[in-house]
Amino acid sequence: MIEMIELVIDLLLAFCVVLTAAIVYTKDLLLAIVLAGAEGVLVATVFYLLLAPDIALVQVAAGVGISTAFFIVGLRKIGRREE
Amino acid sequence: MNGWRGSIFGVLFVVLMSSILIYAFLGYPELGFVRPLGEFYLFNTYNFENQDWWSASPNAVTGLLWDYRGYDTLYETMVFYVGIAAVAMFFEGHAKLKKTGGMTVIVRATARLVFVFTLTSAFAITIFSIKTPGGGFQGGSIMAIAYIAIIVALSKGFLPEMNIDLETAHIAKIVGLALITGLTIVPVIYSLASGSVAYAMQNQPKAWAPFGYPTFLGLTSLSGGLIIPIQLGEMVHVGMGFTIMFLLLTMREKED
Amino acid sequence: MLDVILLLSLGMFIISITMSIYRIIVGPTIPDRMLALDVVSYALTVVMGIIAVISGSPYLIVISFSLALWFFIGALYVARYMEGEQIGD
| B217 vs B14: which has the higher pLDDT | B14
Picking from A28-32, B122-126, C71-75, which range would have the lowest pLDDT averaged per residue? C71-75
Picking from A25-34, B21-30, B229-238, which range would have the lowest pLDDT averaged per residue? B21-30
Min Cα separation A71/chain B (Å): 10
Cβ pairs A/C, distance under 8 A: 86
Q: At what angle do helices C30-55 and A29-49 cross, to 10 degrees?
A: 10
- Residue A34 and residue C30: Cβ atoms within 8 Å? yes
Min Cα separation A33/chain C (Å): 9
Per-residue pLDDT band for B235 (boundaries 50, 70, 90) equals very high
Q: Quote ipTM for the complex.
A: 0.86
* Residue C59 touches partner B, C-beta closer than 8 Å: yes
Of the candidates A53, A66, A74, which has its C-beta nearest B133's C-beta?
Answer: A53
CA-based R_g, chain A, Å: 15
| C4 vs C60: which has the higher pLDDT | C4
Tell me the chain B residues in contact with residue A74 when contact means C-beta distances shorter than 8 Å: 249
| B201 vs A41: which has the higher pLDDT | A41
CA-based R_g, chain C, Å: 16
- DSSP labels, B21-84: HHHHHHTSPPHHHHHHHHHHHHHHTT-SS-TTS--S-SSHHHHHHHHTSHHHHHHHHHHHHHHH
- Mean pLDDT calculated for residue range C48-75: 83
Residue B60: how many CB atoms within 10 A of its CB? 15
DSSP-based three-state secondary structure for A81? strand
Element (H, E) at C59: none
Per-residue pLDDT band for B256 (boundaries 50, 70, 90) equals very low
Q: What is the pLDDT of residue B94?
A: 58
Whether the model pTM is above 0.95: no
Q: What is the pLDDT of residue B65?
A: 78
- Residues C78, B111: Cα–Cα separation, whole Å: 15
- Mean pLDDT calculated for residue range C44-54: 88
Chain C neighbours (≥3 Cβ pairs under 8 A) are A, B
**Averaged pLDDT of chain B:** 82
- Mean pLDDT calculated for residue range C25-40: 87
| B255 vs C88: which has the higher pLDDT | C88
- Residue A66 and residue B61: Cβ atoms within 8 Å? no
Min Cα separation A41/chain B (Å): 15
- Mean pLDDT calculated for residue range A31-56: 88
